[in-house]
Amino acid sequence: MLSLAQLSPDIRQYLVVTGNYWAFTLTDGALRMLVVLYFYGLGYSPFDIAMLFVFYEIFGVVTNLVGGWLGARLGLNRTMNVGLFMQIIALAMLLVPSSLLTVPWVMGAQALSGIAKDLNKMSAKSSIKLLVPNDAQGQLYKWVAILTGSKNALKGVGFFLGGALLSLLGFQGAILLMAAMLTLVWIASLISLKKDLGKAKNKPKFTDIFSKSKAVNYLSAARLFLFGARDVWFVVALPVFLASTFGWDHWYVGGFLALWVIAYGIVQSLAPRLTGKADGKTPDGRHAFGWALALGITPIFIALALDYNWQVEFAVIAGLLAFGAIFAVNSSLHSYLIVSYAGEDGVSLDVGFYYMANAMGRLIGTVLSGWLYQDYGLATCLWFSTGFIGLTALISLGLPKHSRAAKPILP
């Protein structure tokens, strides 16, 4: 407690923002797994399940585009609290009797959840830019990697909680528990977050939501295809494949994917150690290109194993682990680069635009995941993933390369 008291007010505020982000992430991961497994158990087709998340992703696109502008005008603390409240409303919408849980109703709840999630992500990721000096890029990379990795590790815990709570409490019991816990976090956030962190000195115009930076635009395009490559097989196809082909129950599916995401988050946190050079240079476009190429190998391996029916269970599990580790480094690199590229005043504008592209990639991947798996199978999803990764690598060639040495990445 003494150590916390000695921290600067800005860092204490950021710790509160990060705590809110972590709490939200637990409910977001659990809700994703609950919806997939619950509605699959009700007999919904993979494509129907994918449609449940369409509004989640569509409104994520809109929120990131507009949310960055709101964050710059109103302050990141306010956008954080609004996001928490909207997630509580989204959870409450799913507490209606099961007979009323129609596809349009669930899509509406997911729309609110998508808005809430991206308001929280944009607020947390933008805040860190304001706490690190411009000449400390190595330290910035380390902090971004820790934030991103810890978030994804907690999302993995959320996946496990979703599968476990569905088995223990049922769908509505699990939703009620999460809504109650997040309400407590929201009340604490209203009390604790007082400073207008991230509020731009000059009020940005609405037209400023579109980035004017070439580097941000290239990175946003690469991010779109990177996350499309993940979600085209991970969001719907993989959980349904594990349940239907391998015969895994809710505990196994939720637990395995939870461990995968936790490990993924740990690797993200270690990315500075994996990509940092002895001379202290931070990553640039060359690193993004090289790691994208490395990622493309893994879906090819799994797809070939499925096509030739060779050790399918081993290939899927081992390939998924390899994909997760390399994807984690790619994602962490991108997360550092966008914070590095973003402008100082109104940082949330560039970050919001970038995560708009991220959400667009998830939207495309989610829709394709349900459709391609239902009509063509998991192997086709993986071949599409390979193509998206190829586009990510190609676009990454346009990212800036630097020769200026930043401060060394601290251990």
CATH of the domain at 280: 1.20.1250.20
Residue 150's domain comprises 2-396
Predicted confidence (pLDDT) at residue 111 exceeds the cutoff of 60 = yes
Predicted confidence (pLDDT) at residue 82 exceeds the cutoff of 70 = yes
In a domain, 51, yes or no: yes
Q: What average pLDDT score do residues 48-74 get?
A: 76
| pTM (global) more than 0.85 | no
d(CA 216, CA 211): 7
In a domain, 406, yes or no: no
| pLDDT band at residue 200 under the 50/70/90 scheme | low
| pLDDT band at residue 221 under the 50/70/90 scheme | very high
* 77: number of Cβ within 10 Å: 25
Predicted confidence (pLDDT) at residue 402 exceeds the cutoff of 80 = no
Q: What is the pLDDT of residues 327-380, one digit of tens each?
A: 999 998 888 888 777 665 556 667 778 888 888 898 899 889 888 998 999 999
More confident residue, 381 or 80: 381
In a domain, 29, yes or no: yes
In a domain, 31, yes or no: yes
How many domains, in total, are found in the chain?
Answer: 1
In a domain, 401, yes or no: no
In a domain, 409, yes or no: no
Q: What average pLDDT score do residues 3-28 get?
A: 72
Provide the mean pLDDT of the chain.
80
